[in-house]
């Protein structure tokens, strides 16, 4: 099975698990889902202009006419398809979202920003007005340890 098809299947599974865990997802403003000016839909040039040359550039052979590239930085992975960002994964506190949240932010910070009583071990939001794009925050020991921003399908 190709990596493209496998990654699509994984994103769909994640989306369904997000929906199953969060029956009424809150909205996350699109402006808050930006990292150093890069967001879903940004171009490959915008990624390079904002982050510089990556540590690694993974180019997948075109599948069904789609060119997929993953730009790997220290603690940051930006995946593009046909010159548009479709997934961002953050594993480093070096990168902050538009609202200041980052890896290492506390559950209390999320509760303060979003008015939540309890956030559990995973917190998911729709991004902007879309019902197919998500921000997913994973917690460990009351701190964010990973942030995923993506569109399913």
- Report residue 136: phi and psi, to 5°: -125, 125
Higher local confidence (pLDDT), 143 or 152: 143
- Among 21, 140, 32, smallest CA distance to 88 is for 32
Name the average pLDDT for the chain. Answer: 80
The mean pLDDT of 25-34, rounded to a whole number, is 71
Q: What is the mean pLDDT of residues 130-151?
A: 84
Query: Is the per-residue pLDDT at 12 higher than 70?
Result: no
* Overall size of the chain counted in residues: 153
pLDDT band at 131 (very low <50, low <70, confident <90, very high): low
Residue 25 carries which DSSP code? P
Query: 3-151: what fold?
Result: protein yfey like fold (2.60.460)
Average pLDDT over every residue of 6-17: 50
Q: In what order do the strands lie in the sheet with 26-28?
A: 26-28, 122-127, 133-140, 143-151, 84-90, 76-81, 66-73, 56-63
Q: Which residue has the higher pLDDT, 58 or 21?
A: 58
Q: Report, as an integer, the average pLDDT of 113-139.
A: 75
Predicted confidence band of residue 16 (pLDDT cuts 50, 70, 90) = very low
- pLDDT given at position 25: 63
For the stretch 47-94, pLDDT in tens is 999 999 999 999 987 777 788 999 999 999 999 998 999 999 999 999
DSSP 50-103: HH-S-SEEEEEEEETTEEEEEEEETTEEEEEETTEEEEEEE-STT-BBTTS-BT
* Tokens 């979003």, residue located: 114
Confidence of residue 19 (pLDDT cuts 50, 70, 90): very low
């Amino acid at each position: 099975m190709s990596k493209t098809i496998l990654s699509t299947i994984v994103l769909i599974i994640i989306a369904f698990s997000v929906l199953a865990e969060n029956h009424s997802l809150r909205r996350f403003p699109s402006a808050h889902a930006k990292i150093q000016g890069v967001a879903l839909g940004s171009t490959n040039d915008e990624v390079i202009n904002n982050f510089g040359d990556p540590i690694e550039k993974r180019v997948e052979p075109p599948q069904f006419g789609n060119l997929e590239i993953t730009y790997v930085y220290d603690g940051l992975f930006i995946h593009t398809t046909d010159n548009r960002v479709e997934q961002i994964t953050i594993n480093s506190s070096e990168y902050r979202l538009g609202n200041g949240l980052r890896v290492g932010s506390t559950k209390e910070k999320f509760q303060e920003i979003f008015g939540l009583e309890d956030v559990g071990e995973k917190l998911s939001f729709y991004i902007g007005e879309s019902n197919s794009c998500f921000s997913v925050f994973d917690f460990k020991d009351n701190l964010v340890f990973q942030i995923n921003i993506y569109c399913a399908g």
